[in-house]
């Protein structure tokens, strides 16, 4: 069949929805879906239970110690956040695209006047909202327990911790969505997310320790490597905000305090921002070229 025989095609006015309107529509849908999901509810309950446990025990034991006691409680909460929030955000992000692709829903969605960028941003925004709700609920409940136990509470520190936890959640969500854009199956994506969580929480710390001993890494390299792990960046930033010091981290902490001091919050912020933006951009670029089936 020759193309020359084909009559020309008239241009018809099309009124596609705007980028913002589609992103918000998809985000709202994603938020509702996430908040109804059983896995999300379980994560939230686990976070709440662990957080309340730490708050209750800390407040009961250190109520008379005033702000110092609250600092210890916050340090305990940091460890809870470090464990639960990345796992929750990574697995949520990892199933975001892959699960829709596997169930055939992505195909139907992308057959509508929706761009792939809108789908990625809508999902990210909606899931961010769900994670923020979960973190707010968890840390909010912990603050209430601390206040009820009569322990000294400093709302500003708690708010700061909540803000940093949100940044950590967003960075892990972003990484999860990158995994999801790459994976063909939801089970593979979630499995990869869990593996990465294990690596970030446990293996990188041990690896750094082993590397430092075996390779005699300079303290500057050790600090920069630590900073490149978003979980460590969160931990250092949170400790720094409580104590205005990260001496507790040992030689790397002391080196960082001496060398960068006032620039440290900016360095932590830059590391976290990079972990939010770069994987999300990569996810959007990969998703553009991937088949929805």
Partner 1 sequence: MIRIDHLTMKFGKFTAAADISLSLARGESLALWGSNGAGKTTIIRCVLGLLSFQGTIRVGGRDVARDGKRARSLIGYVPQELAFYDDLRVWEAITLFARLKNVARVDLDATLDHVGIPDQGGKRIRELSGGMKQRLALAIALLGDPPLLVLDEVTASLDVCGRAELVALLGRLSGQGRSLLFASHRADEVTSLAQRVLMLEKGKVTAEVPVSQFVARLGAGSVLHLHMPAPSRPVAIQLLRDHGFAPTLNGVGILVPVPATQKAVPLRLLAEARLSVDDFELLSPRDANLSQENHA
Q: What does the radius of gyration of the chain's CA atoms come to, in whole angstroms?
A: 22
Minimum distance of partner 1 from residue 36's CB (angstroms)? 7
Minimum distance of partner 1 from residue 28's CB (angstroms)? 9
CA 274/CA 255 separation, integer angstroms: 23
Minimum distance of partner 1 from residue 165's CB (angstroms)? 29
CA 134/CA 20 separation, integer angstroms: 25
Minimum distance of partner 1 from residue 2's CB (angstroms)? 7
CA 215/CA 211 separation, integer angstroms: 5
Nearer to partner 1, 114 or 181 (CB): 114
Minimum distance of partner 1 from residue 115's CB (angstroms)? 5
Minimum distance of partner 1 from residue 96's CB (angstroms)? 13
Nearer to partner 1, 18 or 68 (CB): 18
Nearer to partner 1, 6 or 206 (CB): 6
Question: Torsion over CA of 57, 59, 60 and 62, rounded to 10 degrees?
Answer: 110
Cβ(70)–Cβ(149) under 8 Å?
no
Buried b (16+ CB within 10 A) or exposed e, 184-201: eebebbbebbeebbeebe
Nearer to partner 1, 117 or 137 (CB): 117
State whether the Cα torsion 266-267-273-278 is positive or negative: positive
CA 257/CA 278 separation, integer angstroms: 27
Nearer to partner 1, 111 or 206 (CB): 111
Nearer to partner 1, 21 or 68 (CB): 21
Q: From 230, 228, 269, 223, select the one nearest 246 (Cα to Cα).
A: 223
CA 73/CA 78 separation, integer angstroms: 9
Question: Which parts of this chain interact with partner 1 (CB under 8 A)?
Answer: 1-3, 6-12, 14-17, 21-22, 25-26, 29, 33, 36, 103-105, 107-115, 289, 291-293
Nearer to partner 1, 5 or 206 (CB): 5
Minimum distance of partner 1 from residue 97's CB (angstroms)? 14
């Amino acid at each position: 069949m020759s193309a020359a025989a084909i009559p020309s095609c008239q241009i018809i006015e099309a009124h596609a929805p705007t980028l913002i309107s589609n992103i918000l529509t998809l985000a709202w849908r994603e938020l509702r879906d996430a908040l109804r999901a059983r896995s999300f509810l379980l994560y939230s309950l686990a976070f709440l239970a662990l957080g309340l446990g730490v708050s209750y025990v800390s407040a009961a034991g250190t109520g008379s110690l005033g702000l110092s006691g609250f600092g210890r409680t916050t340090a305990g909460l940091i460890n809870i956040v470090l464990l639960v929030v990345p796992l929750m955000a990574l697995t949520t992000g990892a199933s975001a695209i892959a699960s829709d692709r596997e169930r055939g829903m992505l195909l139907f969605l992308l057959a509508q006047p929706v761009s792939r960028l809108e789908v990625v941003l809508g999902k990210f925004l909606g899931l961010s909202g769900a994670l923020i709700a979960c973190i707010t609920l968890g840390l909010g409940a912990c603050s209430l327990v601390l206040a009820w136990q009569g322990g000294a509470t400093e709302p500003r520190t708690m708010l700061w911790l909540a803000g940093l936890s949100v940044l950590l959640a967003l960075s892990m969500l972003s990484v999860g969505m990158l995994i999801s854009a790459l994976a063909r199956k939801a089970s593979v994506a979630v499995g990869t997310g869990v593996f990465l969580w294990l690596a970030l929480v446990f293996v990188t710390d041990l690896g750094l320790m082993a590397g430092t001993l075996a390779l005699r890494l300079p303290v500057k390299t050790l600090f920069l490597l630590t900073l490149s792990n978003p979980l460590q960046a969160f931990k250092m930033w949170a400790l720094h905000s409580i104590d205005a010091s990260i001496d507790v981290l040992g030689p790397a902490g002391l080196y960082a305090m001496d060398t960068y001091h006032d620039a440290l919050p900016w360095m932590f912020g830059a590391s976290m921002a990079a972990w939010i933006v770069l994987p999300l951009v990569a996810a959007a670029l990969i998703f553009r070229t991937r088949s929805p089936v």
